[in-house]
């Protein structure tokens, strides 16, 4: 493996490994961890606008829009008019709600495996450090 002092290189490598870990856990449900995360944000935010959802996820609106189109085509989200004509809200479908219910235990197992690998104290420290960088 190439050695580097570049924080970005190490973070990107770790992010790919962590994403792969969760993707493997969620593979049987037909979604990846990015889609799972987006659906969970929708569940927690309850009818957010596209702008609100993009801000909550730290995504550009255009990136979020592409991701939403995929989920919309799969019947997992729907777009509806918001309070004014300039604003659209994003809704979870019943299919997505059911998918989250059955996929969540797999996500929890993947999460527990990573926490076990790190230890709870190091997980907390990692989350704290990543928050500083975000």
Q: What is the pLDDT of residues 54-85, one digit of tens each?
A: 999 999 999 999 999 999 999 999 999 877 76
Domains of the chain, residue spans: 7-133
For the stretch 103-117, pLDDT in tens is 999 999 999 999 999
CATH architecture type of domain 7-133: Orthogonal Bundle (1.10)
For the stretch 8-56, pLDDT in tens is 999 999 999 999 999 999 999 999 999 999 999 999 998 999 999 999 9
Token code pair at residue 4: 């580097």
Please say whether the beta carbons of 31 and 110 come within 8 A: no
- State the pLDDT confidence band at 2, using cuts at 50, 70 and 90: low
Q: Which of 113, 94, 121, 110 is nearest to 39 (CA)?
A: 94
Residues 23, 25, 30, 36, Cα dihedral to 10°: -70
């Amino acid at each position: 493996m190439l050695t580097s002092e570049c924080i970005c290189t190490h973070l990107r490598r770790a992010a790919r490994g962590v994403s792969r870990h969760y993707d493997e856990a969620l593979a049987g449900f037909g979604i990846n961890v990015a889609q799972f995360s987006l659906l969970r944000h929708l569940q927690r935010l309850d009818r957010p606008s596209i702008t609100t959802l993009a801000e909550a996820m730290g995504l550009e609106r255009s990136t979020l829009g592409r991701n939403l189109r995929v989920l919309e085509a799969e019947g997992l989200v729907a777009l509806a008019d918001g309070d004014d004509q300039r604003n659209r809200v994003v809704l979870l479908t019943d299919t997505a709600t059911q998918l989250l219910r059955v996929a969540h235990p797999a996500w929890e197992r993947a999460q527990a495996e990573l926490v076990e690998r790190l230890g709870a104290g190091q997980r907390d420290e990692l989350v704290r450090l990543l928050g500083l960088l975000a």
